[in-house]
Each structure stands twice: as C-alpha cells, then as structure tokens.
C-alpha cells in the first residue's frame, strides 16, 4: 500500500477510507462546511471519503442516505417534543428512542459494509443531542466494532440552555460524548477542550475551523453578478450581510440596531441563512423589530446554498461566496459561537466585519491580531462611528481587510488543517499498532 509522506514528523501515513457520519451534510451550516474542508484536505493526501447522513448534497456515488438520521425526520421530532423541557419521559418514549437507535445502528453497519471505511468521523453526532437515537446508535456501534473513529465536536449540549432541562440525562451521559477507547476527540476551541476534560475526563485535539487562504477567491463572475438584483436591491443600495442562521444566539437584533443607528436608507440588511432546527419565531420577531425601526431587512436563504445550482422553480441558487462578494460589511453580533465561521468567511472574501466580542473570539481568535469594529454586548456611538468609517473610507477599509487576510492565512488556512490531521492520523495509527 502506498504511504503518504509526512515530512514534519518523519513518518508516513497509511491512506484511509474515511466515512463521515452526521444527521445532515447539506447547505451552509458549520458542520456541513467544515466536513467538506476536512474531506478536501484528506483527499489531497490520497485518502478516500464517504458520507452517511439523513440529508446530503454530496455525490451519490460516495454517499449513503438514511432519511431517519435527519434531525427533522418526523420520528425524531416526535421524540424531541417529549424529552426537552421536562425532567422525565414515559416508557413509550424510551422504547421509541431505543427502537430508532437500533434501526440506525443497523444502517451504520450497512454503510460500513457498502463503503468499507477504515476510519469514521462523527460530525457533531456525539456532541449535541439534536438526534438522540443517532448518538446512541453511534455509541453502540463503536462499542461493538472497535472501528477507529474521530468525534469532531462543534458544540456540546451543556453549551445550550435549551438542553439543560431534559428527560434523557442517562442517554446524554452515555453518548454525548461517549468514552470509547477507539474514539479520538477533536474540538474547535480552547474552552471546549477544557470543558470536555473537566466534564468527561477526556483528552482532545484542538483543530480550529479553516478556509483555503492559499487560494484567494476568484473575482466576481457573470453568474454571481445578478445576486443583488435577485435579493431585490437597487444599484445605489449598500448591502450589509448577516451570514448566519436565524437563531437567538446570533444576536441579529444588534444588526438591525446598527443599521438603524447608521441612519442611511441606502443600507439594506440581508440574512443569508435559514432558521434551522430552532423554529421561525425568532425570524418573525426580527421582521417586526425591523419594521418598527425602519430598517429594510431581507431573508434570502431560499436562494443560497453551499454550491451553485437551480431551484425547483428554475431560479438560480447562489453560493455563499456569491453573496459575500456583494457585501460592504458583515455583521457578526453573536452572543455565543463554537468558533466563528462567518468571521473567517468575511476575512476570506475581504469584507470588513463587526464582531460582538463573544468568549471564543476574545480568547482564541482576536489575540491573533485581527482588526475590526468590536462591540462589547451592546452598541455605542463610538462603535457605530467606526463602522461608518469602514463603510465610507475606502483606503482605510482596504488596509483593514488586507491585514486580516494575511493574519488568517497564517493561522487558519488549509495548511494548518493538514498539519493537524496528519498529526492526529499518525497518533491513531501508532496507537493501533501497539
């Protein structure tokens, strides 16, 4: 078998057949985007990649779709309605959780039989309990097979208040995440690394989210040029982009407040992502707030995906990169983030970004030397004045975004991801040979 040179460590890496497992690999959520980056880097090192999910936009020839594994499947929705916000569950709920977990475990066996992976990567499946049966299935599967695996943790259940009151503490203790000798844990920030060690007694590797800064984005092409018109913007309008899901922890009300305080009707606030798994009430509240504030707020998630395409009605689907290319400013007023994908994306597309100094940004990202307007949980006139300068002073804006790109290229590029993955795979290979 051919081996991959790893010059830094002086050893070679055996090519792997890597099976990625999640509830969903589709769209512009962090799990879908980051798993695609891992796969790209792994393929460049001659590893093969395959996908197991309840919903996916990966190539059919390398994918295994199990609709029941999607967090939005009716059976999982029924279960979630009966385990969160309460402190007990009925025998019927227990039975249906375990029956679904058993079925999903058998589909994992089918996935392995079909693609013969030598390594599994569980993308948030064993981290946050959006799909409790799938987490249980994965835990049982690992215990039965001892197949080498990585749990890639983007966020944990103890970081979300909506999971704090529940009737499934026994399952959370068992599977989110499990303690398995063949399972390696990867986290995306220092706080998660410390929490995992404290709560589970488990060591982990820290691998930050990345982008391919070695290859800058191409200039806007003809396909992306009409995205502004598709959003409904006039030529004189200036787009302020909120490139996140519409959930309360994203703090989108502060983006509305910013546009209101800027006081220029040319500024339009565009949200590029959907609500996801937390419902539409927050989106409705934001629309009401925007109307009350006189802010032009537009949701455009129906026309944005991880890659370009054509919708069922024949309209164009734009990539997230197409939308970034039209933005004059990115707002990122999140209250909490596991890392900060939207921040890196804004830096990659050389768009200035307003950041609320959430904990992970302040601890992991800001010390690298990025320059941007920063709010401390609330907007001040000083912060708004800095944003106004960024929007109106072209040389100042250009200097800021070029500096940020250089900083990110040093710390958050594909080269750093490749180094981390090679180190992790070498460690796993060495452990298995003992």
Which residues, 6 or more positions from 407, have their beta carbon under 8 angstroms from its beta carbon? 347, 368, 369, 370
Q: Supply the pLDDT for residue 104.
A: 98
- Whole-angstrom distance, CA of residue 232 vs CA of residue 224: 14
Which DSSP state fits 211? -
Residues linked to residue 269 through DSSP beta bridges, in sequence order: 240, 297
Q: Supply the pLDDT for residue 277.
A: 59
Q: How many CB atoms lie within 10 A of CB 206?
A: 13
Q: Domain map of the chain by residue range?
A: 15-210+414-433, 222-411
Residues linked to residue 63 through DSSP beta bridges, in sequence order: 51
Q: Supply the pLDDT for residue 339.
A: 87
Superfamily of domain 15-210+414-433: Glycogen Phosphorylase B; (3.40.50.2000)
Candidates 310, 229, 311, 217; CA nearest to 270 is 229
Query: Contact, 177 vs 138, CB < 8 A?
Result: no
Q: Supply the pLDDT for residue 429.
A: 85
- Whole-angstrom distance, CA of residue 152 vs CA of residue 417: 13
- The three-state (H, E, C) secondary structure of the chain, written as one string: CCCEEECCCCEEECCCEEEEECCCECCCCHHHHHHHHHHHHHHHCCCEEEEEECCECCCHHHEEECHHHCCCCHHHHHHHCCCECCCCCCHHHHHHHHHHHHHHHHHHHHHHHHHCCCEEEEECCCCCCCCHHHHHHHHHHHHHHCCCEEEECCCCHHHCHHHCCECCHHHHHHHCCCCCCCEEEEECCHHHHHHHHHHHCCCCEECCCCCCCCCCCCCCCHHHHCHHHHHCCCCCCEEEEECCCCCHHHCHHHHHHHHHHHCCCCEEEEECCCCHHHCCHHHHHHHHHHHHHCCCEEECHHHEECCCEECCCCCEEEEHHHHHCCEEEEEECCCCCCCCHHHHHHHHCCCCEEEECCHHHHHHHHHHCCCCCEECCCCCHHHHHHHHHHHHCHHHHHHHHHHHHHHHHHHCCHHHHHHHHHHHHHHHHHHHHC
Between helix 30-44 and helix 341-348 the angle, nearest 10°, is: 60
183 backbone φψ class: left, alpha, beta (φ>0; ψ -120 to 50): beta
pLDDT, one tens digit for every residue, the chain (434 residues):
444 544 344 457 789 999 999 999 987 788 998 999 999 999 999 999 999 999 998 999 999 999 999 999 999 999 999 999 999 999 999 999 999 999 999 999 999 999 999 999 999 999 999 999 999 999 999 999 999 999 999 999 999 889 999 999 999 999 999 999 889 999 999 999 999 999 999 999 999 999 999 999 999 999 999 999 999 999 999 999 999 989 999 999 999 999 999 999 999 999 998 876 566 899 999 999 999 999 999 999 888 887 889 988 889 999 999 999 999 999 999 998 888 889 999 999 999 999 999 999 999 999 999 999 999 999 999 999 999 999 999 999 999 999 999 999 999 999 999 999 999 999 998 766 43
Q: Supply the pLDDT for residue 432.
A: 60
Q: Is 321 helix (H, G, I), strand (E, B) or coil?
A: helix
- Give ∠ CA 77-81-83 in degrees, rounded to 5: 115
pTM for this entry: 0.83
- Whole-angstrom distance, CA of residue 240 vs CA of residue 326: 9
- Whole-angstrom distance, CA of residue 343 vs CA of residue 366: 11
Q: Which CATH code, of 1.10.10.10, 3.40.50.2000, 3.40.50.1860, 3.30.2010.10, is assigned to 222-411? A: 3.40.50.2000
């Amino acid at each position: 078998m051919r081996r991959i040179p790893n010059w830094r460590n002086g050893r070679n890496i055996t090519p792997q057949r890597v099976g990625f497992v999640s509830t969903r690999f589709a769209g512009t959520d962090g799990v879908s985007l980051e798993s695609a980056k891992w796969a790209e880097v792994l393929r460049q090192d001659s590893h093969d990649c395959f996908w197991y999910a309840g919903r996916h936009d990966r190539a059919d020839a390398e994918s295994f779709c199990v609709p029941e594994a999607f967090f939005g499947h009716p059976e999982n929705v029924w279960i979630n309605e009966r385990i969160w916000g309460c402190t007990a569950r009925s025998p019927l709920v227990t039975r249906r959780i375990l029956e679904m977990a058993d079925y999903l475990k058998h589909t994992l066996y089918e996935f392995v039989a079909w693609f013969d992976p030598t390594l599994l990567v569980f993308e948030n499946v064993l981290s946050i309990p959006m799909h409790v049966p799938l987490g249980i299935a994965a835990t049982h599967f690992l215990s039965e097979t001892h197949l080498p695996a990585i749990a890639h943790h983007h966020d944990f259940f103890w970081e979300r208040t909506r999971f704090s009151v529940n009737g499934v503490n026994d399952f959370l203790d068992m599977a989110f995440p499990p303690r398995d000798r063949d399972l390696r844990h990867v986290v995306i920030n220092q706080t998660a690394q410390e929490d995992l060690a404290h709560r589970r007694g488990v060591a982990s590797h820290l691998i930050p989210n990345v982008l391919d800064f070695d290859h800058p984005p191409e200039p806007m092409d003809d396909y992306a040029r009409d995205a502004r018109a598709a959003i409904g913007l006039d030529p004189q309008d200036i787009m302020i982009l909120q490139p996140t899901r519409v959930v309360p922890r994203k703090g989108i009300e502060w983006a509305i407040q910013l546009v209101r305080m800027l006081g220029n009707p040319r500024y339009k606030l565009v949200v590029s992502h959907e609500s996801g798994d937390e419902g539409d009430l927050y989106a409705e509240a934001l629309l009401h707030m925007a109307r009350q504030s006189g802010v032009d707020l537009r949701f455009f998630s129906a026309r944005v995906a991880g890659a370009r395409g054509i919708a069922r009605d024949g309209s164009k689907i734009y990539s997230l990169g197409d939308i970034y290319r039209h933005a004059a400013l990115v707002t990122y007023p999140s209250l909490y983030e596991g890392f900060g994908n939207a921040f890196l994306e804004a830096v990659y597309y050389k768009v200035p970004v307003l950041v609320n100094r959430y904990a992970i940004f302040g601890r992991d990202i800001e010390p690298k030397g990025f320059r941007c307007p920063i709010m401390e949980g609330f907007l001040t006139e000083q912060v708004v004045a800095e944003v106004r300068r960024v929007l109106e002073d072209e040389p100042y804006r250009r200097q800021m975004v070029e500096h940020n790109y250089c900083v990110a290229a040093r710390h958050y590029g594909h080269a750093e991801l490749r180094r981390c993955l090679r180190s992790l795979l070498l460690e796993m290979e060495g452990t298995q040979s003992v």
